A and B are shown apart, each in its own frame.
Chain A
Amino acid sequence: MTTIDATRIKRQHTSRLRRGDLLSTLVYFSVAIVLAIFLADGGAAYFTNIRDLATGVGIVTGLIGSDLLLVMLLLAARIPFIDRTFGHDTALAQHRKLGKPVLYLILAHMVLLLIGYGISAGLNPIAEAIDMFFNMEHLWMAFIGMALMILVVVTSLVIVRKKLAYQFWYLVHLLSYGAVLAALPHQFSAGMLFADGTWARYYWMAFYVITLAAITIFRVIIPVALSLKHSLVVSEVRVEAPGVVSITMTGRRLNELKGKGGQFINWRFWAPKLWWVSHPFSLSAAPDGKSLRITVRDLGDTSHRLLTIPTGTKVSFEGPYGIFSESARTTTKAVFIGAGVGITPIRAMLEDPKLKANDATVILRGTTEQEVFLWQETYDLCVAKHASLRVLVGKRPPGVATWLSAEAYSSGERLSTLAPDIKHSDVFICGPMQWTDLVVRDAKRAGVPDRQIHAERFEF
């Protein structure tokens, strides 16, 4: 039994690695292809004389920048193949990581072409910009696209730092589609590389069409279709602790919804003052084919309205997303470490039938006993699965950077004593941002390889 399970997990992990490598290779190839298009058009000629140098580099940065911009959009398009391979959070982290380089590449494209064209026209870059804006086809749109793009990246950075409202961030991001579309026409008219009748034109068009189609299908059509198909309604709201409720939703043909314990869904509750914002919440029970359940804590924003949501409220959703689930496993053993509402996806994963007995160690944290949410359910599951369970209650020790309770810390408990076999286990961590970072740090110190660490962070 164990060897069959080990083979399955190993195969699942290898196939994930292979898919990841395939996708990364495609990204490298896409960059190589735009460079090849540039060179095939005799682009090397720009580098044979000093007058055209700026123009040549400007074209190259524009090509690579827009290629990577499309990669960014694909990473955020919720394409199931990408999400299943990298995980929703890793895909989005890569998306964010590309944001600044792409902005710089496209800015360089603009500045260098203003200089390069300016040299050829005998104009300074500013006069050149004005001339281009008014006299060159579609260039005014490209300038607007550039301005929008700067706005999107700058506000994204500010929003991340100052934690501005999610809805505002969302609206700003919609502008990025405007930026992409505004920049599109000049690539086909002013950019002679993609002129009429060249195969490069069809390649470039296909790249855009595929990207925009993926966004439309996976971010709009499928969520709407699934929401209509399952037509979820709130069927039960149960108070778990002060400020914490479990919301159960029922709907049609839920047995057809592919979802695993530990995954999250973006929910939209069609109730007054709630409908205009969607909330990402993990499933707190593995989908049983009849209902879906989330456990929600009042985090101070609009989520406090969820505590009093009436039964019968209609719910639409996007998801399920993420590989904080059984799919992420690389070995047969697993350690689950959760704090506060972070316990809920762990509770759902414990329910997964693929998780075999004796495999799991569960460590739960709460400032007070009441904050070890879903305690009874989790306890029952651990007993049924023969998982070892440790609960650490109490505040953290003052002045020490640790995720443990003061009591556990002073009595000498560490990650290695709580989960002796952690080196050979998958470690699933879910909790508040800083707390999670500390657990990840300790896991790494204990010698757990990066690929075995699966963390899901949430913010207060």
Chain B
Amino acid sequence: MRARSAFFAGAGSVAIIAIGWQAGVGTLVSSLPTSAPAASGTTASAGTAAGTTTAGNSAGAGTTGTTSNTSTSPSAAAPAAPAAPATGTVADGTYNGQTINTRFGTVQVNAVISGGVITDVVAVKLTDQGRQSVNISNQAAPMIRQEVLSAQSAKVSNIGGATYTTQGYLMSLQSALDAAGFTG
């Protein structure tokens, strides 16, 4: 290869990798504190967001992440929906995510959307193959759920040591959000 072309090939390759890196970092930092103000800023109504988040939190706190009651939270948050004009196009309800195959079993979650915000994520099925899978799932799922609820997105960081659970969880969640037409 001639020097100029070699330089172009090298620089171009570095640029491509950098773009990929940037896109990846985007998914990693979205749940870090820096993005929290941005999330609340873009939400149409801080009151709604706060109200629904607490509703989701209380449901999550009351039970485990996988068994939180979904039927009550949408109805509880429903009156607040008209107050969120920007995101009001997403219909309230529970949206089923796709079943994702991972090395340690299938993962499927449902997204509960109410008043234009994600109020809960219900894990229907988590990774359960392999000796430690169930432990890992039980530890990681509530953490991922918490991150998703505060970021209002499936693009949140990986939970170290639970990469497969996280990936399956988030991919299933994203498919549910896509089905709902939820764009954040």
Contact = CB atoms under 8 A, between A and B. Distances in A.
Q: Do A and B come from one complex?
A: yes
Contact of A122 (B17, B20, B130): B130
B179 to A, nearest CB: 11
B2 A196 contact: no
Interface in A176-233: 189-190, 192, 195-197
Interface centre among A41, A55, A196 (most CB of B within 10 A): A41
B19 interface: yes
B28 interface: yes
B103 A52 contact: no
A370 interface: no
Contacts of A122: 130-132
A379 B167 CA distance: 73
Contacts of A123: 130-131
B8 A25 contact: yes
A46 interface: yes
A35 B24 CA distance: 11
Interface in B132-178: 132-133, 136, 157-158, 160-161, 163-164, 167-168, 171, 174-175, 178
A43 interface: yes
* Range class of the A interface residue count: 35 or more
A39 B20 contact: yes
Interface centre among B24, B25, B136 (most CB of A within 10 A): B24
A38 interface: yes
Contacts, number: 122
A172 to B, nearest CB: 32
A42 interface: yes
Contact of A43 (B9, B24, B131): B24
Interface residues of B, number: 44
A49 interface: yes
A35 B20 contact: yes
A52 B163 contact: yes
23 contacts: A25-B8, A29-B12, A32-B14, A32-B17, A33-B16, A37-B20, A39-B20, A41-B27, A42-B24, A44-B21, A45-B158, A45-B160, A49-B160, A51-B160, A120-B130, A121-B133, A122-B131, A122-B132, A123-B131, A135-B129, A136-B103, A137-B101, A192-B171
Interface of B: 1-2, 5-6, 8-10, 12-14, 16-17, 19-21, 23-25, 27-28, 98, 100-104, 129-133, 136, 157-158, 160-161, 163-164, 167-168, 171, 174-175, 178
Interface of A: 17, 20-22, 24-25, 28-29, 31-33, 35-46, 48-49, 51-52, 55, 117, 120-123, 131-132, 135-137, 189-190, 192, 195-197
